[in-house]
Structure 1
């Protein structure tokens, strides 16, 4: 009987060893694959989130935007102030918006000069032109909305 127990144990062990080995080897494969995937994901996240820090000579658009923001805000505030005083005039909203931006050329030019120093003349001209078109459109819409509300 002892031999039967031994055989039973051997049979029992072989039954358990085989599935355990398969499970164990697949676990090892999964853990190796999981490790590779986790490493690749961490690397991609580090590249996307961290990026490379801008050196002293490198262009940093966020820094330029932060520095230019007060100049841009003054330009918009000037135009809004001009419009506010003339909101009840008979002038069309398009003409009033254009006059407001024309009246605030000094603020626009301060922003342009700042941008020329940071990004060059051509790029600064493009940025200011796009901003002016957007602000004129936005002012026109705001004037129309305020006039219909009153």
Structure 2
């Protein structure tokens, strides 16, 4: 299984770097960002520097549709708060796009690519960074 981490709608530079540290720390090679603005956009150079140091790569796009077009995932898990419409992240075959919301919000239906699975890694509201870390642990460490 190949895992790609995608971050959507991010404006915090420090949070953007934390997403990258978590992804690269678990051995994920590719981090993709869609809809980067504000302080995160102004500090994007720091992200590229971190990626270079940690042996990863960064791709930046305008929207999620572009991410799916380029990455070509077999499965898209959109990590969000656990509720009745989400299901736990599970190991699958092929290329997986783990998509997280950079503003700790739930994804609206129009933001998600077709076929995306609303998912959670742990049955608690621990924020996007926490959901990503636990999901990567479940998918890559067990």
Q: TM-score, normalised by structure 1?
A: 0.19
TM-score normalised to structure 2 length: 0.20
Q: Which has the higher contact order (CA 8 A, sep 6+)?
A: 2
Higher strand share: 2
